[in-house]
Amino acid sequence: MEILSTILGTWSGRLIALCLLEMLFFLFYSPQYFLSIVGRDQDAKELSGKYRSSALSIAGLVFAGITFVLANAESIPNVEPALEVLYVSVGFLICSFLIEGLTNHRYIWLMYQEIVLEYGVIGLLLGLWLLSESVAPSSARVSLAVLIIASLLRAREVVGEIEAYSNLGDKSRRQFLWDFIWRVEK
């Protein structure tokens, strides 16, 4: 339990936990769709390529921000939480970039690519808010407002995805997982 409280005691730990929970939720919410094979779906391949290029562009911005913070770390108080979140953000964005090769196999990888891309952006905004809390507390309200708006947009997108994927098959989730595990084809 101490490990769990240590992980969830940091902003970066909470961000990673939320991302993983969302990934697991969608895997178990609609396995009929997400575990199905992509095949020759050109729209999925194009979307994956767009996610990949966006992830790389945003990762470059985050990396520049990290470099700036590290260069000025001695003059910035309490910079560690912001840096930790920015490192996690870069990690999410690089994962989104690298997942692209797997998106040709199953739809779950395309969903994971989207999720880690968006959590990378939310991590960037969270890191900027934490940094502005340290450097310029009077402007922290603006960065907090942007973070809240982005988080609300992500939450609304999750609700939309839940609605879209709610009725994608006749099999029950339990039956689909059983068939998938035992490779029963009907």
**pLDDT for 120-172, tens place per residue?**
999 999 998 998 888 888 889 999 999 999 999 999 988 888 877 776 555 55
CA distances (Å), 12 to each of 6, 57, 109, 156, in order?
A: 11, 21, 23, 22
Q: Report pLDDT digits (tens) over 39-77.
A: 676 777 788 888 888 888 888 888 887 887 778 777 777
110 domain-assigned: yes
172 domain-assigned: no
Residues of the chain above pLDDT 90, percent: 24
Residue 172: the pLDDT is 56
2 domain-assigned: no
At 78, which helix (H) or strand (E)?
A: none
Tokens representing 151?
A: 């988080």
Residue 180: the pLDDT is 57
- Cα–Cα distance, 43 to 106 (Å, whole number): 13
pLDDT higher than threshold 90 for residue 30? no
22 domain-assigned: no
175 vs 157, residue with greater confidence: 157
- Per the structure, the complete domain to which residue 63 belongs is given by 33-167
25 vs 74, residue with greater confidence: 25
10 domain-assigned: no
pLDDT higher than threshold 80 for residue 186? no
At 127, which helix (H) or strand (E)?
A: helix 107-135
1 domain-assigned: no
186 domain-assigned: no
Residue 167: the pLDDT is 63
> Which residues share a beta bridge with 37?
106
Residue 104: the pLDDT is 79
Q: Taking the CB of residue 3, how many other CB atoms lie within 10 A of it?
A: 7
pLDDT higher than threshold 70 for residue 174? no
Domains held by the chain: number: 1
16 domain-assigned: no
- Cα–Cα distance, 161 to 113 (Å, whole number): 14
Residue 1: the pLDDT is 64
Q: Which residue has tokens 């909470």? A: 14
Name the band, by pLDDT with cuts 50, 70 and 90, for residue 4.
low
For the entire predicted model, the pTM comes to 0.80
